[in-house]
Amino acid sequence: MNITFLIGNGFDLALGLKTTYENAFNYPGVISNQIVQHKEWVNLMNLLRKKGTNSEPQWGMFEEVIVDYCKEYIHSTNDFNNFKIFKTDLSNLLVTYFSGIVDFGLPNKTLSHYDSLKKMNTRDNQFLNKAKEMDEDTESKVIKFNNYYSEFVLSVTKFYERLENNKSQFIIDYITQNTENASITLNFVNFNYSNSLEKFVEKFEKDICNYTILNYKINVGDFHYIHGSSKNVIDDSNIVQFGITDPNLQLGIGYDFETDLKDVLTKTNTQFKKWCHNSDLIIVHGLSMGNNEIYYLNIIDEYLKCNKILIDFPYIDIDKKSSNDLNNLENIRKSIFSKEHNDNVIVDINPETNPYKSAAGIFHF
């Protein structure tokens, strides 16, 4: 049996890492970065503030705003060319930011936020002190790495125990019926720019002989970045990729360069289809899946049509777990992945093992 974990930003947030787009764009280095000289930056920030008033700061919303920006502000070839330059600078900014937190779990970080600002010749003590605070925050997470790791192991080997009793038994039966040999292979697809997940998987792979799933031997298979990362670049011309994948994206701006603009915006990892279709069980952690990721959602829907199962552990802010917003969350999450085959989607919004922690995290046991 092949089990594939799809990991979103909720995983990093549950670790306590500051990986929302708000964190990245409020990074002290922004003020020292040439990106603030772009009028595109000001306009994009205004659109984000307007749209984010009543919404969570999810990357999916940021991607939607990028599309909105193009529709509202790109009206000439000059606008288009300026946007391409801006997008490159924005990608560089994200690389700089995530380079400061990307080595989660490693005491010898290659580049801290403080070092990044010093290299930019930043002399403003306010921003340098803020960068030091961010580095200290990251270091505190490093100290807790071993504790996090033990819970990560339980999350990938005992995930079925996190579900309500009837759902848990269903998954146990499903695994037993669909495991033809004596082993289970675990694959990981990371939708984040950070490599916090990769560090857990590397350590897990070294210790793998100590663990089983329902007495089946475990093998660690493949690890993939869907959008690229600051260290694993998929496309050198686009350093990191935004999650806009809609092949039928209609900007409606009616200019000759619209096709070229769509090519700049939409960067799709077509390998995702193979990764999903080779899976017998997909487990999702903290993945918002915005409207612009329709390509990946369509592939997941195709997977579910084959009578295969997906388990969804969505990220939920702890303070909002008792609100009325949760009442319809299970149906909403199911409909995101499939309109017609959502009976094959199991959503866990209130973990049996620890109802006070987000289902997206690794902190259940």
175 and 34 together in one domain: no
pLDDT at 256 over 90: no
User: 206-255: per-residue pLDDT in tens?
Assistant: 888 889 999 999 999 999 988 765 554 434 444 455 656 665 666 666 66
- Alpha carbons within 13 angstroms on the beta-carbon side of residue 41 total 17
Instruction: Count how many domains the chain has.
Output: 2
**Nearest-angstrom CA–CA distance, 194 and 154:** 22
Please check whether residue 256 lies inside any domain of the structure.
no
How many CB atoms neighbour CB 155 within 10 A?
23
Residue type, 242: F
Tokens of 322: 């008792």
Residues 139 and 152 reside in one and the same domain: no
Mean pLDDT across the stretch 266-293?
A: 85
Residues of the domain holding 120 = 18-143
| pTM confidence score | 0.78
Residue among 229, 101, 104, 105 at smallest CA distance from 114? 101
When pLDDT is averaged across residues 15-23 and rounded to a whole number, the result is 78
Residues 178 and 157 in one domain: yes
Contact 1, 302 (CB under 8 A): no
Q: For residue 312, what are its two tokens?
A: 């969804």
118-122, 313-317, 322-326: range with highest mean pLDDT: 313-317
Q: Are residues 130 and 29 in the same domain?
A: yes
Please tell me the distance from the alpha carbon of residue 162 to that of residue 348, in angstroms, as a whole number: 8
34 lies in the same domain as 55: yes
